Structure 1
Amino acid sequence: MIALDAATFAPRTSPPRLPERVAARPRLTQRHPWLYPVAVRYHQARRRAAWLRSGTAWATRRPAPETTYRVKQHKSLLLRQLGQADMWLQHNKVTNLRLAAELVDGVVIRPGETFSFNKVVGNCTKRRGFVDGMKLSNGEAHAGVGGGICQLANLLVWMFMHSELTIVERSEHSFDPFPDNGRVLPWGVGCSIVWNYVDLVVRNDTDTTFVISTGIGRRYLEGELRTDTAPRRSYSVHARDEVFLRRRDGEVFRSNEIWRDVIDRRTGNRVGEELLKRNCALVKYVPVDVPVVDVI
């Protein structure tokens, strides 16, 4: 369990600054919300064209190798009270997760193949059985068809971070909507999904085959990543330099870095470390019992 207190936040030796992309003016669609649907259609068209031109070998559901070795197993609680969010959205989310998990379960990523969450799950429409759940988009939380499937993407990216798969594309949410409430994983390891242009994409650059298993249990969304050969390395993923930053206009941002230690499975020795991601997001709640630093 991650304790969110002053000890979590490492002291800094220099005055903190916001990344340039955060310190800059708000995006055009934030200043003119009526442009948002137009921007969505534009980005969807670009992604469809990119898929057609890519020539990528996409991972699909297919029979798995007879013998496999566990790389990473994880589960996440299905129902959580998030701020003032209505619990009916949480229950609907379970419906959406069940449909999406059935589509991801059994996907095999062979050497040279690429896994795309959007390619595998597809567009979450009412016609396909998806219902209104909570969506996070354009700086706000609201009800929308297919809402909640990001929890499945979060579970997958956490498992991928503990593997030798190469993360090609992963977009975090642009804002932090709720205070930490029983958080198990570090903040900033999640993943945003928007059909079809905001995706989770990983590529298998190894000579081994990976198998994904996902499903819904009584209380948890459950996942497992396996390979057809025994892994030589394991990984430990953690956050560094966690800090809340207050801009001159009063807006607060949360920032950290996600690192992973590389461990030799045979000896148990740490053989390296890798920076996976730098995160910075607008905070949509009032931080309590944590230091907030004014940025210059």
Structure 2
Amino acid sequence: MKPIKRSRWRLAAGITYYRMKRYGEWLFGRKRYAKIIAKDLFAHVHFRHQTPLLRQLKDVEMWMQHNKVTNLQLAIQKLDGVLIQPSETFSYWKLIGKPTKSKGYLPGMLLSHGRVTAGIGGGLCQLSNLLFWMTIHTPLTVTERHRHSYDVFPDANRTQPFGSGATCFYNYMDLQIKNETKQSYQLHLYLTDTHLVGEWRAQMPATRRYRIIEKEHVIEPSIWGGYERKNQLYRQVYSLNGEWLQEEWVTDNFAKLMYEPLLPESMQS
């Protein structure tokens, strides 16, 4: 679809409307939200993943990334140890709250309409990206996830398929995860000197393993100018002894490229 350009006032009004709508859902909706924090860790790690804290990105000053580390530390304090009991829903923003200067959050990197800018609490998308990737490797169900509308940086050193993250913006672009299993899960998050690390833990060991694969990946010219990138993510489910069980659709992705892709010769002519 052709990108829609809206005025600053229209954008501000839209943000206010959707934020109020989210507050109403939190207060009056029927979901049971996860809120219990347990200090003692569950015994069994179902999935663990880590991502580097600092990356040299084109046209991004490193002070933004150093501030991001502070922002991640503050958000982790609200999420580490949280339990998702059966039938409960984890809400990323309901637990973290609004990142503000008074809470200690610093200006960090934000992506706005495909452009890199700085804003209070910037960099928390790294945490929502990690949580989404971890969750699709467990029996937990992602019930709300927002894809990145722009692909800002090329694939250098990419280790996961395109579109395997989840963008976030307080509070209406939320990441929500429901526990539709019969046992509780616990989120464990921490920082090392070099990485953001996360784990989904449970009291019983895992009975399945998951592998995320990409299908129908294309980069093609857009009729509105520039290039578009699309793909589909699926997960393959295996038993612990490696037996293939089934394949499940995860999500469709679509993004506008903000860089010049390396195209095959047939598309360069």
- Say whether the fold is shared (TM-score over 0.5): yes
**Partner SS, residue 26 of structure 1:** coil
Per the alignment, residue 19 of structure 1 pairs with none
CA deviation profile, 1:190-237 (whole Å, cap 9, x unmatched): 111111100000000100110100011010001111111122111111
How do 1:112-191 and structure 2 match up within 5 A? 112-191=87-166
Shift of residue 55 of structure 1? 2.8
How do 1:1-296 and structure 2 match up within 5 A? 23=1, 25-27=2-4, 30-63=5-38, 67-265=42-240, 267-288=241-262
**C-alpha contact (below 8 Å) 2:41/2:81 kept by paired residues:** no
- Aligned-residue RMSD, C-alpha: 1.8
**C-alpha contact (below 8 Å) 1:246/1:292 kept by paired residues:** no
Amino acid at match of 1:26: P
Q: Distance in 1 between matches of 2:18 and 2:90?
A: 20
TM-score normalised to the size of structure 1? 0.86
Query: Aligned residues, how many?
Result: 268
Q: Distance in 2 between matches of 1:163 and 1:146?
A: 28
**C-alpha contact (below 8 Å) 2:42/2:186 kept by paired residues:** no
Per the alignment, residue 16 of structure 1 pairs with none
Q: Distance in 2 between matches of 1:249 and 1:65?
A: 53
Change in Cα spacing, 1:259 to 1:93, as seen in structure 2 (3 Å) is same
CA deviation profile, 1:90-148 (whole Å, cap 9, x unmatched): 11111111111221111111111110000111111001100000111233221000000
Change in Cα spacing, 1:193 to 1:293, as seen in structure 2 (3 Å) is farther
**C-alpha contact (below 8 Å) 2:32/2:87 kept by paired residues:** yes
Provide structure 1 residue ranges, at least 5 long, that are not aligned to the other structure.
1-22
Shift of residue 63 of structure 1? 2.2
Q: Distance in 2 between matches of 1:57 and 1:292?
A: 53
**Partner SS, residue 60 of structure 1:** coil
**C-alpha contact (below 8 Å) 1:243/1:292 kept by paired residues:** no
Provide structure 2 residue ranges, at least 5 long, that are not aligned to the other structure.
none
Amino acid at match of 1:155: L
CA deviation profile, 1:146-170 (whole Å, cap 9, x unmatched): 0000101111111100011111000
Shift of residue 292 of structure 1? 8.5
